Structure 1
Amino acid sequence: MAAIPEPRWFKSSYSGGSGTECVECAHVSHGALIRDSKCSNGPILSVHPQAFRRFVDSVRHGLRQPS
């Protein structure tokens, strides 16, 4: 059986340079992984690909859900 490759984590180009406020993401076959960059051994959130795409599009375009 082939080994599962380690996720390749990345930060947004808009993340703060001070390292105080950032999340990291990784694309995987089942969607995306999200974690706190300051706690790389902490919890990881797994997100369905369509949900992650909608989230990124919403952030990119400043869309908000009605309250």
Structure 2
Amino acid sequence: MSDAQWHKSTYSGGSHQNCVEVAEGAAETLVRDTRHREHGHLSFSNPAWTGFLSSIKTGR
């Protein structure tokens, strides 16, 4: 996703120390550390990302 539009994740909370940024595309979601953008990003299929968020919300 070379044209990724990054934004701070709503799941990062109010802290500016432990933030992640996400970029959602048609087929994948990219995730990176806000403070260390130069280290790259992780890529997840949208179903995998949705499943991950669902697991967090339910406490698994």
What CA deviation, in whole Å up to 9, does each residue of 1:5-53 have, x standing for no partner? Answer: 6212222334243411111111012210000010122211110111000
Q: Aligned runs of 1:1-67 on 2, under 5 Å? A: 6-62=3-59, 64=60
TM-score by length of 1: 0.70
Shift >3 Å, 4+ stretches: none
Amino acid across the alignment from 2:18: E
Aligned residues: 60
Unmatched 5+ stretches in structure 2: none
What residue ranges of structure 1 are gaps of 5+ in the alignment? none
Q: Which has the higher helix share?
A: 2
Structure with more contact order per residue of length (Cα contacts < 8 Å, sep ≥ 6) = 2
Q: Tell me the C-alpha RMSD between the 2 structures.
A: 2.0
SS at match of 1:8: coil
Inter-partner Cα distance in structure 1 for 2:11 and 2:28: 22
Q: Which amino acid is 1:30 matched to?
A: A
